[in-house]
Amino acid sequence: MLFSEVCKVFMKIEETSKRTEKIHHFIKLIRMAEKENSPSSLRKICYLSIGRVYPEYESKELGIGPSMLIEAVKSIGIKEKDLLEAIKETGDIGIAIEKLSSQIKQASLFQQPLTLDDVYDTLKKVGEIEGESSQKKKIRYISNLLLRATPLERRYIARIILEDMRIGMNIPTILSAFSKYFGIPKEKLERIYAVVNDIGLLGEKLLMGVDIDKDEDLKLKLFRPIRPMLAQIAPSIKDAIEEIGTPQFETKYDGARVQIHRSGDKVKIYTRKLEDITNSLPEIVEEIKKLDRDNFIMEGECVAIDLNTGRPRPFQDILRRIRRKYDIEKMKEEISLRVYLFDILYHKEPLLDMPLKERRKILEEILSEDNDWEKKREKIEREIKSDKKIDISYKLVTRDVEKAEEFYRWSLGIGHEGVMIKNLNAVYTPGSRVRTMYKFKPTLESLDVVITKAKIGMGKRKDWYGSFEIAVRDEDGNLHPIGHVGSGLSEEELDRLSKMIDSIKIKEEGDEVIVKPEIVLEVTYEEIQESDKYSCGYALRFPRVVRIREDRPPEDINTLEDVKRIFQIQKGRRAEKN
């Protein structure tokens, strides 16, 4: 398949802002792959259309930043000064190269036009180059590719390299296109996608015509991390009991979620962003290896513990451990970790369709412990200060509101965030916010939002960005601004955030920059108001940053639905008070 044909469709997709039209054009790409009888082409198209080369579950990147790309562009004849000027003007390196194409040295006349495979395979190769003079080699491959490309192809090659496609395709839109073309309900595709996290693989399998309910590659497997199931907010403990009956309450630990995969001596630990953090947590890996069962995927919350008090240390400490790439042994001495395991998703086979009751039983068997708070409170309290590295979450199964509230207050008393309230009959639905698992915290719910714009600060803050436009998302992945936040950040955080913002800038508009929506903030606020200031109809009153959530992917931020729900809960709480 010619790459130029694919690019023409990419351009059509880019030119429309209507989702239905984007879907319509994407279906043309599916048809092109089908006509050539090439499911693998569809796989590559899927990745490229979202600016990737590797599947989403792999944290691997091409490793080429803007400066390296500029080097490659210079080497084929474009003048640096012109290039920088054009980038500034258009805010888009892809368009800049396309526009300046007349400066490029002519490739040989006998050159074959680029195929999709040429482009994809070269980029994949570039990502795999390592070691000495890897930078030079990468630049050489890219210059060759750009040299052979047409101006339009250059636009997209440059953007793919920087992993910023800007044609407005995202996973929900591709899934809608698959649903329409292959006649499969979107919810079903969403469920499979949440397990595989590989849109290319799903596209390829659909075009191959496999039975998607039975295909082994589309099932949960070891060492391919999945998106976790997310909780909803409960208005109160009483409400949750009324809805669920007899739930299992668990302490809601204040930490970072981890997914642990083990087969024999091979152990991998992933974050909820699906990043591999195995090397940062050697003591946890060791503990997991000591268990006498293997072949499993477990989930838990990783907490930094102050061993003198048994209380959790600030969230920042966990991030310091997770992000650490060197001096890990030293860091291990400084910050003690404990993982509270709360679920098992795989043991010799996928367990997702098993009710929580049974999954918990398996987990308790493997860990030889149940941490039933009613029966073992004293033992639990003794062990909080021990240097236990892994444990099972504390639980209380009850329909007694008072008892549940006591457990909730006790959980707060040991320094954690609140409680999780889980339906014991519920299956595990990866990647979605379910009504079978609730969280209850003392404060009005904080929101996870993503930064869409940043504004240069004033006075003392003039060297940093000082105010950030924040947005929630809707079911289709579209972002909706809901406020501006500037307070709550320390100088160190402002500095770090400003560097992060600079690395994902898309466009400058006066003293404001538009950024790729990648940085997740957890914010509190005084209340949610109905407001016509933002098109979504709501605004956060006095938002304040609680922390930068580097452990969370932007796909997991709160939705407009959540905002509406919290707005209702807030109204209810206010009515109760009056």
Residues that bind ligand AMP (CB under 6 A): 228, 231, 250-253, 257, 301, 342, 393, 420, 439
Decide: 430 and 227 in contact? Cβ < 8 Å.
yes
Binding site for ATP: which residues? 250, 257, 272, 301, 342, 433, 439
Q: Which among 65, 477, 52 has a CA at the least distance from the CA of 274?
A: 52
Beta carbon nearer to ligand AMP, 280 or 393:
393
Q: What Cα–Cα distance (Å) separates residue 3 from each residue in 27, 113, 126?
A: 16, 8, 18
Polymer length of the chain? 578
The residue with its CB nearest to ligand AMP is 257
Rounded least distance, CB 308 to ligand AMP, Å: 22
Token pair for residue 186?
Answer: 């979107």
Which positions are annotated as active-site residues?
A: 252
Binding site: which residues? 250, 257, 272, 301, 342, 433, 439
Beta carbon nearer to ligand AMP, 147 or 234:
234
Give the burial string for 211-220 (b: 16+ CB within 10 Å, else e). Answer: eeeeeeebbb
Beta carbon nearer to ligand AMP, 259 or 452:
259
Q: How far apart are CA 308 and CA 321, in angstroms?
A: 19
Rounded least distance, CB 566 to ligand AMP, Å: 12
Q: What Cα–Cα distance (Å) separates residue 249 from each residue in 61, 276, 416, 422?
A: 40, 29, 14, 6
DSSP character at residue 167: S
Query: What's the half-sphere exposure (Cβ side, CA atoms, 13 Å) at 186?
Result: 10
Rounded least distance, CB 99 to ligand AMP, Å: 44
Phi, psi of 479 (to 5 degrees): -95, 145
Q: How far apart are CA 195 and CA 198, in angstroms?
A: 9
Rounded least distance, CB 420 to ligand AMP, Å: 4
Beta carbon nearer to ligand AMP, 336 or 436:
436
Beta carbon nearer to ligand AMP, 231 or 305:
231
- Amino acid identity of residue 311, one-letter, is R
Q: How far apart are CA 310 and CA 568, in angstroms?
A: 37
Q: How far apart are CA 352 and CA 229, in angstroms?
A: 11
Rounded least distance, CB 536 to ligand AMP, Å: 20
DSSP character at residue 42: H
